[in-house]
Amino acid sequence: MNEVKRAIILAAGKGTRLRPISDSVPKPLIEVNGKKMIETIIDALITNNINEIYIVIGYMKEKFQQLKLKYPFIKFIENPYYDMCNNISSIYVARKYLENSIIIEGDLNIYDPDSLTPFFLRSGYDALFINNPTNEWVLNLNKKGIITSCSPKGGDKGWQLFGVSRWSKTDGNRLCTYIEKEFIENRNTAIYWDNIALFIYKDEFELGIHPINSKAIIEIDSIEELAMIDRKYKKYLEKQNERHNNEN
């Protein structure tokens, strides 16, 4: 059994799909029903006794300092490449902390703290089994529970990947090696960091999943999704519709 020793929260991106809200506040700091998205992550980590927490920041990095008032123990890692590269750059700057880690996208709302359990048998991803079409990344497993393939364009049936993954000491070190190779040697800076273990070096890992329920984690990718969860954001949809009608 492996145990998570530290958490890395990826919060450097611009969150362009939530504009104009994200023009003035980083996406992870957007409040949903009175609580910042990133706070749901930090609180769930604390519940699981994961207190070594690193937050990778970039876009509007100064805004994250407010978190120190509530969580003085968190540490920030600045990503100077966030505006030029994809999120592989965020894992690159945090690569020294990948051993026994849990990596979490900063734009998730965690409703079930058990989904961030520190105990795991095999490195891999939180995932939800789906029988309906989705545009999210979908994983397929063999009979041993090992990931055999991933469809980044979605699918009709399989395990929908969520932005939470755990890495053992061995796999964390291996991931660090390949992140450095792709980012520095091969200058492969336009990819998602997940491509390293799921595609480019797939044969070097034997990843599994941690099954979650449908209400454990919610990822918000658009203003439409945000407004469905928190009604106060419906005004942005109304403005969008008004602009669309005026243009036509």
Token pair, residue 186, equals 């091969």
Domain total of the chain: 1
Is the separation of the CB atoms in 202 and 139 below 8 Å?
no
Q: Model confidence over 166-210: pLDDT tens digits?
A: 999 999 999 999 999 999 999 999 999 999 999 999 999 999 999
Burial of residue 44, with CB atoms counted within 10 A of its CB: 0-12 exposed, 13-18 middle, 19 or more buried: buried
Residue 241: both structure tokens together: 């519709």
47: which 2 tokens?
């519940």
Q: How far apart are CA 224 and CA 173, in angstroms?
A: 39
Q: Does residue 245 register a pLDDT over 70?
A: no
Q: Is the pLDDT of residue 226 over 80?
A: yes
First to last CA, the chain: 59
CATH number at residue 186: 3.90.550.10
Torsion of CA 153, 101, 120, 73, to 10 degrees: -120
Give the pTM.
0.92
Domain that residue 177 falls in: 2-247
